[in-house]
Amino acid sequence: MELKSYQQKVIENLEEYLTYVQEQKDLKTAFDKYWEDKIGPYNPLDGTGMQPYKNNIPNAAHVAVKVPTAGGKTFIAVNALHSIFQAYDSSKPKAVIWLVPWSNLLQQTVDALSNPEHPYRQKLNTLFNHRVEVYQKEDLLQGSNFNPTVVKDQLSIFVMSFASLRARKKDDRKVYQENGQLEAFVSQFKNSEHILDGVDDTALINVLRYLNPVLVVDESHNAESDLSVDMLKNLNPSFILDLTATPKENSNIVSLVPAIELKKEHMVKLPVIVYNNHDKTEVINNALHLQRKLENLAKKQEAEGGKYIRPIVLFQAQPKTKDDNTTFEKLKEQLLSLGIPENQIKIKTANIDELKSIDLMSKECEVRYIITINALKEGWDCPFAYILASLADKSSAVDVEQILGRVLRQPYVQRHKSFQLNLSYVLTASAKFNETLQSIVKGLQESGFSEKDYRKVDKMTEEEKKTVIADPVESFLFPEQQTEQEEDENIDTNRVTFDPNADEEEPESTTVIDEIEAIAEEQNRQLEEQIKEQEQQPVDDNIFQEMGDKVKRYKVKEAYKEFIDKIEFPQFFIKVTASDIFGTDEELLNRESLLKDFKLSDEDIKIDFDKISSDLYKIDLEEAKKNEYRPSFTKIEDNLVKDPIAEYILAKPKENQITDITHQVMQIIGNIYPIPDQEIKVYIGRVLNNMNTEQLRDILVRKWSYTDKIKSKIRQLADSYAEGRFMDLIKSKRINTKGNWNLSMEIVPGNTGSSIGNSLYEKEGSMNNFEERVVMELGTSSNIEFWHRNLERGKGFYINGFKANHYPDFIMRTKSGRTILVETKGDHLDNADSAAKCRLGNEWEKQAGQDFAYFMIFDKKEVEGAYTLDKAKELISMM
């Protein structure tokens, strides 16, 4: 199981933030600058920019990722753990406390992270070399395979509920009590700073505090109370990662996923079709018919090679009182009286749980109808749930927000052939339909979506809405204004036309189902068009749209608007074999296609390790002054580094040493897309196999420095191969250029630069001194129409090719109609990377045609293929 593109973006955002932490050495400064560079500085007057970092839990980096329901928060967190531990001191125990708000979610999480067949556990095993142990609270209290030795050599995940730690009276919780099973940890305590006052050293809470764990807080919007904040503080964390669809005001968001990204990846059934019926009888009748319609479509799809789907209706009943469960039983009796088999109906309430131990996804399962109120809250997920049928009193605004998210998850995360199976449905009979819609909007928002994600149909007449029961207070105070009271509404089974024994081969339909289907088809068509448009946009653009007015945008100047659509920037396309065996097709070139046949494991392993820097930088957290903590970077001399695992590894046979050291090196290297991990692993093994015992000992002591050398060599080999492949394809006419990118009407530069004449936009992105000088001397020349500071990181134009997305610094347009790309380089940047970008840029110019040019500009230094500033000025003035 691999990350979806938007999930990978979340991981990249998190790693980018961690880089800022390393650079700034201060959590607040790092967070604020991270967002300032993305969307501009925070301005409290107009609300633009991200609000400053909130230091909620001193002594810990505390950040949140916003991911809508069904967006795969758990899988994102699994991958995020690798990024977090990669950034922090690797000699510390890899301890994670995974906090969940409900018991059912706790068991789901434990099962997913423990089961070796589950994709989440498989990913953990890959990332952490199969050294992963998952514990529940009972395991920890009993010391079951939990001791100082094992936690040093593995990733330890402690899955716990908020309730087990969130205690007003510490005596009420076993985690705060003396525990002889954990006595072995006490001998490891070098000081008593982490010991809570009045709590025994051996208490589980103190052992957890000693481990200085990373916290993963699932559904973190449930952990905002003072009691919850105290709970987090008590755990003495080093890092806190909040996972939620609805971050609170005090969250430090480092990444957010727009709902459109889930739609693109077929993660959710959207939009929601909302149909307001005349009464409860119609709700039940139409729900039964719609379920049958969807199931027939699912069976037909399965017969044609599709996957098994059994659409389920969630009947949301409304009891008379909190403790009155007769409503559920009554509804069940009415469904049974229609001839529906009892094994197809289950009740799930606070007091009745007929779903326990049932696998709703199994083909052997017969359940098609689930009766509940709000018992199926967050943490319950069955992608077969398609229809939410609310049977609240007609006079009530339907309260669906707590359960709406349960029908949004898309089965098998794929687009289904029948469009009806790609949407979800809400059926109601509410006289207060406008209030019901607000409840649906709130429900969507609580799941991370918006009011754009539903479509409504209201069939209840105004006369019917007037006959509903009035508010009892208003009835008492203003009896003369009240209309006829409605009696307790019963289900009229005589009006239910659904026949559970009907021949499934016979097409079954009703006027309402036909109407719902027509609406669904139109909404699905609009959705597909929206997705097609969105696929052309970088993920960042969608994120900025999601953030709305927080993002500071700058418009193109009025005088230059006509140029926006006229200039179409060429990019490289590669010819690929089309589905038609007699022809070819083209797709945008990327490094993945160039490195498709690259076999790193066969490449040379000659690396000069003689000039390795002994400076090692690790993240740690220290107290700067009272109540203020910041990350510090400790320079560690070689002779002071004592890795407790080193001697243990070196005592093994050489083959096992290489396996262990390879894993450590890969942990630091991380992902080198698109080179497969297995290829990297084999290559590192070959490098290590060529070393003697002393070199292996040295690499354990200075693995960061050795890893930098190895990673640099891998990139060099990949770049060389990609460039050779690129030039071969150019020569064989398999690569060509065509227009594919346009300037935007608005830009989001983040930090802005000096105001210099002739700029394309109201404000341009920030520039260093040499870049400003280049613009002053070139961009304001008499023959230049305008200039633009090209943006990086997915915001601007890039030359695609053998170098990973080369973003030139400037775009200039001459009055004669030529477009010039300018890449500036300080004289000290004459290196292999600059040379490769220069070769790519010059080849782009050659292929793009007469109307485009590329200049790499150094100040004074003469470099092959590039130009000095004076020479570039002379040539550009003639264009």
Write the DSSP symbol of residue 675.
S
Dist. CA 819–CA 879, nearest whole Å: 10
Q: Find residue 215's DSSP bridge partners.
A: 97, 240
Dist. CA 665–CA 688, nearest whole Å: 10
Dist. CA 744–CA 809, nearest whole Å: 17
Please report the domains of the chain, with CATH numbers, ordered by start residue. 5-257 (3.40.50), 261-533 (3.40.50), 742-876 (3.40.1350)
Q: Which residue has 């490098």 as its token pair? A: 687
Contact yes or no for 589/573 (Cβ under 8 A): yes
Locate 659 and state its tokens.
Answer: 């396996």
Q: What integer pLDDT is reported at residue 307 of this predicted model? A: 93
Judged by DSSP in three states, 211 sits in coil
Dist. CA 448–CA 465, nearest whole Å: 32
Dist. CA 879–CA 874, nearest whole Å: 9
Locate 501 and state its tokens.
Answer: 């024994």
Dist. CA 72–CA 770, nearest whole Å: 44
Q: What is the sign, positive or negative, of the torsion defined by CA atoms of 703, 706, 712, 715?
A: negative
Q: Crossing angle for the helix pair 103-114 and 119-127, nearest 10 degrees? A: 60
Locate 561 and state its tokens.
Answer: 């608007």
Q: Find residue 820's DSSP bridge partners.
A: 812, 853
Dist. CA 760–CA 231, nearest whole Å: 52
Locate 57 and state its tokens.
Answer: 């839990």
Q: Find residue 622's DSSP bridge partners.
A: 630
Q: Find residue 458's DSSP bridge partners.
A: 276
Q: Which residue has 């990249």 as its token pair? A: 12
DSSP output for 563-628: HHHH--EEEEEEEEE-SSTT-EEEEE--HHHHTTT--GGGS------TT----EEEEEEEEEETTE
User: Looking at 505-608, which runs of residues are DSSP E strands?
Assistant: 554-555, 569-577, 584-588
Q: Which residue has 């119609």 as its token pair? A: 282
Say what the pTM is: 0.76
Dist. CA 660–CA 651, nearest whole Å: 12
Write the DSSP symbol of residue 409.
B
SS3 annotation, 37-51:
HHHCCCECCCCECCC
Q: What integer pLDDT is reported at residue 33 of this predicted model? A: 93
Q: What integer pLDDT is reported at residue 535 of this predicted model? A: 60
Contact yes or no for 274/457 (Cβ under 8 A): yes
Please report, to the nearest 10 degrees, the dihedral formed by the alpha carbons of residues 670, 674, 679, 683 taken in order: -60
Contact yes or no for 684/662 (Cβ under 8 A): yes
Locate 572 and state its tokens.
Answer: 């490289």
Other Cβ atoms within 10 Å of 290 Cβ, number? 26
- Would you give the distance in Å from CA 182 to the centre of its chain? 37
Judged by DSSP in three states, 399 sits in coil
Q: Shortest CA distance to 822 belongs to which of 846, 800, 789?
A: 789
pLDDT digits (tens, 9 = 90+) for 420-442: 999 989 888 877 766 766 777 67
Q: Residue 198: which region, alpha, beta or left (left: phi > 0; alpha: psi -120 to 50)? A: left
Q: Residue 404 to residues 399, 435, 460, 630, 810: CA-CA distances in angstroms?
A: 9, 15, 22, 41, 48
Q: What integer pLDDT is reported at residue 402 of this predicted model? A: 65
Burial of 730 (0-12, 13-18, 19+ CB in 10 A): middle
Q: Which residues contact 319 (CB under 8 A, 6 or more apart)?
A: 325, 326, 327, 328, 373
User: Using DSSP, how many helices (H) and how many strands (E) does the chain show?
Assistant: 30, 26
User: Looking at 31-180, which runs of residues are DSSP E strands?
Assistant: 61-66, 94-100, 132-136, 155-161
Dist. CA 162–CA 101, nearest whole Å: 5
Judged by DSSP in three states, 708 sits in helix
Q: What is the sign, positive or negative, of the torsion defined by CA atoms of 761, 762, 763, 769?
A: positive
* pLDDT less than 50: residues of the chain: 322-325, 469-476, 479-488, 579-583, 613-641
Judged by DSSP in three states, 462 sits in helix
Dist. CA 43–CA 27, nearest whole Å: 20
> Residue 271, preceding bond cis, omega within 30 degrees?
yes
Q: What integer pLDDT is reported at residue 394 of this predicted model? A: 63
Altogether, the residues listed in the chain come to a count of: 879
Q: What integer pLDDT is reported at residue 429 of this predicted model? A: 84
